[in-house]
Amino acid sequence: MVELELQDGLAVLTIDRPHARNAIDLDTMAELEKALDAAGGALALAITGAGDKAFVSGGDLKELARLRTEREASRMALRMRAVCDRIAAFPGPVLAALNGHALGGGAEIAVAADIRIAAEDVRIGFNQSRLAIVPAWGGAERLARLVGQGRAMLLAGTGRVLGAAEAERLGLVDVVLPRAGFVDAWRESAHALATAQAREIKKLTTRTRTPEEAAAAFARLWVAEEHWEAAERVMSRGK
């Protein structure tokens, strides 16, 4: 199942399939689509898995093994690619909280987010090659943008699985945190990103904007009540 929590502008989407290590099947895809519909008005989105063993362990092979034709396989791949594209295109910041291992399709979901925060004992890898297939949910392209084409080819081509520290060194993971207190820490970051200004920063960092567009975004925030309340707090400290 997929759980959705909405609080103070933050939508938290949790994939909870403990019997399958949070793997994705067709029913989970449908639940993800519905959850993203319901989260549309949030300022920021966080995605995580239930428990501490797996973020998402990939596609649920036992369920997806029913797909035997090229047409069926293609439809499934395009459907989940569309889910990952929606995650990447979410208007506000998207944080993937890697509570456990992110493997195969799980790594593809992780790189669809803007930010990846991982527990220190987590492993991440595009290991689809071990099943004699390739990433099909947009992960290969996104991986290349994060670590470069050569490293992406090496990682996806060999199926190598990385520890959190090495993934951080390569730029595949942004922050590695101790397991103790991990949930509180990533939630604090996610709530800090659930703001109008963080939403505008995502626009500035994900596409080229003209100076006029950037100035207009700044001006909208400048005249907002939230800005003046914050400014008043800062100015009052010097009195």
* pLDDT band at residue 208 using 50, 70 and 90 as cut-offs: low
Task: Report the SS3 class of residue 48.
Answer: strand
pLDDT of residue 157: 94
Kindly tell me the number of DSSP H helices and DSSP E strands found in the chain: 11, 10
- CA distances (Å), origin 171, targets 111, 143, 166: 11, 10, 9
Query: Which pLDDT score, from 0 to 100, does residue 204 have?
Result: 84
Tokens (6 digits) for 100: 């456990």
Question: What pLDDT, on the 0 to 100 scale, is given for residue 34?
Answer: 98
Given a cut of 60, whether residue 4 has pLDDT beyond it is yes
Q: Which fold has domain 2-193?
A: 2-enoyl-CoA Hydratase; Chain A, domain 1 (3.90.226)
Using one digit for the tens of pLDDT, what is the confidence trace for 189-204? 999 999 999 998 998 8
Residues 6+ apart with CB under 8 A from 218: 200
- Average predicted confidence (pLDDT) for the chain: 92
Dihedral (CA of 165, 175, 38, 77) sign = negative
Cβ(29)–Cβ(83) under 8 Å?
Answer: yes
Domain ranges of the chain: 2-193, 208-237
pLDDT of residue 67: 86
pTM for this predicted structure: 0.89
Q: Which residues pair with 94 in a beta bridge?
A: 45
pLDDT, tens digit (0-9, with 9 covering 90-100), for 119-177: 999 999 999 988 888 899 999 999 999 999 999 999 999 999 999 999 999 999 999 99
The tens digit of pLDDT for each residue in 50-64 reads 999 999 999 998 888
Question: What is the structure's pLDDT at 214?
Answer: 67
What local confidence, expressed as pLDDT, does residue 56 receive?
97
> E strand or H helix at 193, and its extent?
helix 182-193
Read off the pLDDT of residues 64-117 as tens digits, 9 standing for 90 and up.
888 888 889 999 999 999 999 999 999 999 999 999 999 999 999 999 999 999
pLDDT score, position 187: 98
- pLDDT tens across 155-171, in order? 999 999 999 999 999 99
End-to-end CA distance of the chain: 53
Residue 218 reports pLDDT greater than 70:
no
123 close to 162: Cβ distance less than 8 angstroms? yes
Dihedral (CA of 197, 198, 199, 200) sign: positive
pLDDT tens per residue across span 9-54? 999 999 999 999 999 999 999 999 999 999 999 999 999 999 999 9
Q: What is the pLDDT of residue 221?
A: 67
